[in-house]
Structure 1
Amino acid sequence: METNKRIQAALKKVQKKMKADIFGFAEIFHRKYPREWNRVKDRWEEIFPTVEVTVKTKVYVRRPGIGTAPQGLPEQEVKE
């Protein structure tokens, strides 16, 4: 699925190359596992690039047939 590929590419770029937690995984981890967070919080910048993330997507087309091109997509990727 194209949506899944795009999400995985964005995640790989920010997680592996930029090493930036822009999606807020630290906050989610802290809420779900508070004791474990206390052990790793000082090393999160080291740990985050190695965290395995599973991406699950669900897409719903709510209004098919709209005649405008989606914003943010390169023109060559827009299918008529």
Structure 2
Amino acid sequence: MLAAKAMKANPDKKYKIAGYADKATGSARINQKLSEKRAKVVYDALVAEGVNPNQMEIIANGGTDNMFYNKKELNRVVILE
């Protein structure tokens, strides 16, 4: 995985793994849990590739304002910062 390779090459850098859910579907509580699960899947995959867990922070943004208007499926995303 390209992201894992870059992260391992920069062990002093910290990363945020931000999960999102579309605001149009589900309650706020469900979207919060869903966005956390999405981010955790990416976190677990990066750890499995050898990335130091201390380099990463999971952020669950729930059903925040949509980044992509009228394309709710595109708002179901995880962003690595």
User: Could you say which structure has the greater relative contact order, defined with CA pairs below 8 angstroms and 6 or more residues apart?
Assistant: 2
Where is the strand percentage greater, Structure 1 or Structure 2? 2
TM-score over 0.5 for the pair: no
Q: TM-score range by the shorter chain?
A: 0.3 to 0.5
TM-score in terms of structure 1 length: 0.34
| Largest Rg, 1 or 2 | 1
TM-score in terms of structure 2 length: 0.34
